[in-house]
Amino acid sequence: MRTRFAPSPTGSLHVGNARVALYNWLLARKEGGEFLLRIEDTDLERSSKAFEREILRDLEWFLGWRGEVVRQSERLDIYRRYASELLAEGKAYRCYCTPEELEAMRQRQLSEGRPPRYDRRCLKLSEGERRHLEAEGRRPSLRFMVPDGAEVSFRDLIFGPQTFRAEDLGDFIILRSDGLPTYNFACVIDDHLMGISHVLRGEDHLSNTPRQLLLYEALGWQPPEFGHLPLLLGPDGKPLSKRHGPSSLGELREMGIMAVALANYLAAIGGAVKEEVLEWEGMVEGFSLAGISRRQAVFDLKRLYWFNRAHLKRARAAELKKALQDMGWEQEVRDEVIEQMKEEVSSLLDLQKLLPIFSSEGIFLSPEAEKAIEGAEGVLRLALEELSRGKDGWLDRVLKEARVGKGRVFKALRAALTGETKGPELKKVVALLDAVTIRRRIEDALRRRGWPYSFTTP
């Protein structure tokens, strides 16, 4: 078995395409096959090397993929050779129609109540007529001649039996007038030469499949098996787009989403695996084409964060350290800090934001923390006095001796020790900080307010 993922480098890789890549990767892994990458960059105006590099970086992060890349822009001679063969065999013909003529043809057919199809006006041009048109500066494209009365049927791996009438397709272009191949033609040539056995892609490509199957037949090649995945929707039931929030892999990575969590979520919402927390091995083992739903799935960030939180809790400290380093965290962090704080957060970004609390450096107080310290001089001085008696049982002693409520004590100490009024469980913070750091931060908080401090309560 051999599968592939074939993105166009015209934009960032979003979760819809990522799911296509994932399902192809999982299928190949489960069947002991190969997963290949093809960059479909024949749209020379819109394609960008910067986007290609971004796609490769995203795939390395998401699937750990590092391999050779097939680029369509480097294979143009191959497409032209096969197009010439179809032309020589009478299975394709030159078309000299301009965009304006084609649009006029389309409008006329629509006004007559007919579906717009190319009327084959260039099929029977004489050699003299072709020379005349070329003398006018017209450069021909090549059209594939769809066999009259043909019917194309195949069994989709997801949607089951499919049948298309050739008369609904019309003769379609395989090579543009600038010599560049169209999507359907290049796709067929590449999938065959790359030995692709199974193609999983979005359902928006379903209408391309009959055209591709006709090309396979004309070229005398065995087609791969096709499966089309329902498209992803936003929470409002409309096609997923930027207005639904972050959806590119780069954005999700910067938000602290783990690759395994994203994969787990994308596999689960489509029915490819059971909706449970799975590591990579579990996803490969549980992957099932038969389980993939025909219903369009909803991409919900809240549910993604649920999976992310679950995977954070399961991850080892060393794994999370590596992920944090990949996000730009350079300072050393103790394993016990990671193990305790991963229980408190839903993303790597949240975890990263907590780490400065546990460094030996000073902290910055937020405006809310500054306000929480106002009027808490007595609590903070008491905390220093009790700390002089030792850290063990310190927080309980402060709570017992304080002349204010528990909530006020916790709020003041949290503000002094973490610089925030909300965050991880205070007892965990205290347990992970040494006495010297605790003392310094409380003293700093008092100093910020201009309060003298001593070890004697008023």
* Residue 154 burial (C-beta neighbours within 10 Å; 0-12, 13-18, 19+): middle
Q: Which helix (H) or strand (E) holds 28?
A: helix 15-30
**Roughly how many angstroms between the first and final C-alpha of the chain, as a whole number?**
79
Bridge partners, 35 (sequence order): 3
Strands (E), 339-381: none
Question: Which residue, 73, 65, 66, 3, is CA-closest to 39?
Answer: 73
447 phi/psi in degrees, rounded to 5: -65, -40
Q: How many CB atoms lie within 10 A of CB 228?
A: 24
- Residues 96, 133 contacting (CB under 8 angstroms): yes
Contacts 24+ apart (CB under 8 A), 49-55: 49/9, 51/9, 51/10, 51/11, 51/12, 52/9, 54/12, 54/13, 54/250, 55/7, 55/9, 55/12, 55/13
Active site residues: 242
Q: Residue 366 gets which letter from DSSP?
A: P
Q: What is the dihedral of CA 248, 254, 258, 260, to 10 degrees?
A: 30
What does DSSP say about strands 160-165 and 151-156: parallel, antiparallel, or unpaired?
Answer: antiparallel
Task: Supply the Cα-derived Rg of the chain in whole angstroms.
Answer: 32
Q: Which helix (H) or strand (E) holds 202?
A: strand 198-202
Distances (CA, A) of 181 to 39, 77, 96, 143, 439: 14, 10, 16, 11, 71
Residue 171 CA to residue 178 CA, distance in Å, equals 19
**Helices 259-269 & 301-314 angle (0-180, nearest 10):** 130
